[in-house]
A and B are shown apart, each in its own frame.
Chain A
Amino acid sequence: DAKTTQPNSMESNEEEPVHLPCNHSTISGTDYIHWYRQLPSQGPEYVIHGLTSNVNNRMASLAIAEDRKSSTLILHRATLRDAAVYYCTRIIQGAQKLVFGQGTRLTINP
């Protein structure tokens, strides 16, 4: 299974937008792109997902490239509570399996 590729770490300031990139160049046409985040000592938390179109919810926005080989998670106004490891994943339909990469550790400066 080809994993997704993300920067190991990123840093941003409170109340500024954050753009977290992800490369998934080998994604198949039916695999959904999911984003999760994990705070210390907690399980992963669902953030957002999409297939082809850009998506918005109360937590974030997801921008998917037209060729689907990359996507960007957008946190519009970061808060200190957004500091976490963010995982860009694919969901393999048959096994309902999330394929996790190493994730991006996001640090938010006050």
Chain B
Amino acid sequence: EAQVTQNPRYLITVTGKKLTVTCSQNMNHEYMSWYRQDPGLGLRQIYYSMNVEVTDKGDVPEGYKVSRKEKRNFPLILESPSPNQTSLYFCASRPTGPGYGYTFGSGTRLTVV
């Protein structure tokens, strides 16, 4: 089944403890993105990648890192999480070209205490 898989689905962590949220897609898509969803603020892009080793900042990149060493994987790294990073995170992917929509993962609910 074509899908974007995120892990974990739920995570509670403490301030300052490094964590990684994994994202993997099995559709050979070039474009991948991370979004966070917050009440009243909607969905906002954190980082995106247009292909292997090509990444760039989105609207809210502060406190996050990403890497794209393989086409299928696009992990989101929080080096020193803070409570304001408590949010619902989504990874998404799509092929190049204008004729395609994004496929989103099921989300990761992160709580930083």
Contact = CB atoms under 8 A, between A and B. Distances in A.
Interface in A61-110: 87, 95-98, 100-103
B106 A98 contact: no
Given A44-B90, A49-B101, A95 B107 contact: no
Contacts, number: 59
Contacts of B59: 1, 97
A43 B98 contact: no
Most B CB atoms within 10 A — which of A51, A95, A96, A103? A96
How many A residues are at the interface, by size bracket? 20 to 34
What is the predominant secondary structure among interface residues of chain B facing chain A?
strand
A47 B104 CA distance: 12
Interface of B: 4, 31, 33, 35, 42-45, 48, 50, 56, 58-59, 90, 92, 94, 98, 101-107
